[in-house]
A and B are shown apart, each in its own frame.
Chain A
């Protein structure tokens, strides 16, 4: 075990899998010589050469389009989109092509690839370096969506994603790239897709959160315990597609309450989907309203990101509301 940041966990996952499998290639804007604008791919080109880790022209649709061709050929491309905010030129390639190739070819052609991209707010990046677009992609049959919240999960989920037979969008919560530290197993470390994590056990209210929001919810849970004696259970689904519905439903059946927390705009956000799954399957267990604590239905603001993003105060208030009705 070594102590690493979340970013180092991702990098360790890349090194591990590139050593393990010469079909794995990493590329994108600035990922080669510069090692990525966040340094996530630092050192890869030095160890594996320009054939396996390289810079591309500045074109997201070109990066993903060529990655799809490589995946159909039989390689395991791991393209990077520098910020998730810039992924939209490649949206067509992701939703119409990567996610549909297996289905439309009757399984003859497949597209095993991992699109890595930093997402989310909290770094004073303004509208175009802060958004959380996971819901657009969860709405796309044929695409898996993975979001780690710890260094060990970042490594283990990334390795599983690279080994997966289907395309995976791997969203990296950049706010906690360097602030989140933890023990990471050395070498081989696999966290299966579709299995959530109980971040902490509790009996009074379930919070479902992912990415950088997990840490915020842990602080809120401490506060609720201390101030109100409310015992919160936090579930991190880790992968939104496929989703560990059972873990979420089991937790809500135990606690009788649900708060979903996500940074994206509230309307149409993935926390709304989790709320619907619980309402459809476990309404008899609910002892209060389901509450969504989310970003606002506005563009992501630059100077006001502190009041835009869900914080401890809003999560605490959200949990309290499940008791007041």
Chain B
């Protein structure tokens, strides 16, 4: 098995040559965003346990890939997310209270309570509204990239998927079309080792995702997805290549889903505590913190100040989001089509008429 590219070893030192070209402030902000995601996750999972939101899909253990790939893209590049990239909507500018409103499904939610939690949208930030269908977004990413190429816009696309999606029809179609048309897209597979209860080795008979790229005539790169610096550099290089007109790349970010698939899932039913512990030892946040501390860029007092501040901010945003009104009934029939047709008006009348 080819070993994933790593910059941050288990040690805290990183050689100068391996360091991406990022300022100290940028290096610190990568860490802060990872921690912000972790705190947000913890808070939202708690809200779910309290019955204040119906469902939540945590990303604990995958924060490095999320933040690294976001950082690697320019603001003009499109984000086509899968299940665990919701934080990128917020990094791209979705106000936290609107994200929380989406989790609640109230009138403050841009999607007007029509989707399950974690299905954010942000057109302004070029973050595409996802469905819950596995893999369909892969060919959307290719199509967006084909359109960007046609428009000669210079934009690139990040198309995300999980390891389970590599078995879907659209993985094959999306990668094949991207390579044939030399579309400026980078596919980022967050291989977190589990598709709900099915382990990666039962998903495919090859031992990694990156190798599949060779069947499409594109480079496949395996990177340590728990290493924010390595993942940033690999995706940055792949996007540069794509936008130069040299075609797509498949990046496999090797990572681990430390919690369940969702708030409805109990992973103790199907996996060993030992395996989880091994991966927690490779936790992306802790590893990167050790590096920053070694560089003199972070310390305990900064940590506690930051955590307290973010915690307080999120608590405030939760209150703001929870204060919003329930979704109004007209959201049943609007946005089905551009115009509300007479048949839908009739349905609305039935839905809202007094049964007596």
Residues of A at the B interface (CB closer than 8 Å) are: 25, 51, 56-57, 59, 61-62, 65-75, 77, 89, 92-93, 96-97, 100-110, 141-142, 144, 164-166, 194, 242-243, 245
Contact = CB atoms under 8 A, between A and B. Distances in A.
B170 A68 contact: no
Given A62-B174, A65-B143, A74-B147, A92 B338 contact: no
A202 to B, nearest CB: 26
A75 B334 contact: no
Given A92-B136, A108-B121, A62 B129 contact: no
Given A57-B176, A97-B133, A108 B123 contact: yes
A65 B139 contact: yes
Nearest to B183: A66
Contact of A69 (B114, B146, B151, B341): B146
B140 interface: yes
Interface string B116-139: 000101110000110101001011
B100 interface: no
B111 A57 contact: no
Contacts of A57: 173, 176-177, 180
B338 A103 contact: no
Nearest to A60: B173
Given A141-B336, A142-B336, A194-B341, A59 B142 contact: no
Contacts of A66: 139-140, 142-143, 146, 174, 177
19 contacts: A51-B150, A56-B180, A61-B139, A61-B170, A66-B174, A68-B140, A69-B142, A73-B78, A73-B143, A97-B136, A97-B140, A104-B114, A105-B111, A105-B121, A106-B111, A106-B121, A107-B334, A108-B122, A108-B129
Given A57-B176, A70-B147, A107-B335, A101 B139 contact: no
Which range holds the interface residue count of chain B? 35 or more
A283 B339 CA distance: 30
Given A25-B150, A68-B140, A110 B129 contact: no
Contacts of A74: 147
B336 to A, nearest CB: 5
A225 B140 CA distance: 54
Given A67-B143, A69-B139, A105 B133 contact: no
B165 interface: no
B343 A69 contact: no
Nearest to A107: B335
B144 interface: yes
A65 B174 contact: yes
Contact of B139 (A68, A96, A141): A68
A166 B129 contact: no
A272 to B, nearest CB: 17
Given A25-B150, A92-B136, A97-B131, A106 B112 contact: yes
Contact of B114 (A56, A103, A110): A103
Interface in B255-269: none
B59 interface: no
Contact of A70 (B144, B176, B337): B144
B115 interface: yes
B136 A166 contact: no
Given A67-B143, A69-B141, A166-B338, 6 more contacts: A65-B138, A73-B78, A73-B144, A97-B131, A105-B121, A106-B109
Nearest to B143: A69
A233 to B, nearest CB: 22
B10 interface: no
Interface in B324-341: 334-338, 341
A86 to B, nearest CB: 14
Nearest to B337: A166
A96 B172 CA distance: 19
Nearest to B102: A106
7 nearest A-B residue pairs (beta carbon):
A69-B143, A65-B139, A62-B173, A105-B129, A66-B143, A73-B147, A165-B338
B110 A103 contact: no
A108 B174 contact: no
A93 B139 contact: yes
Contacts of A69: 80, 139-147
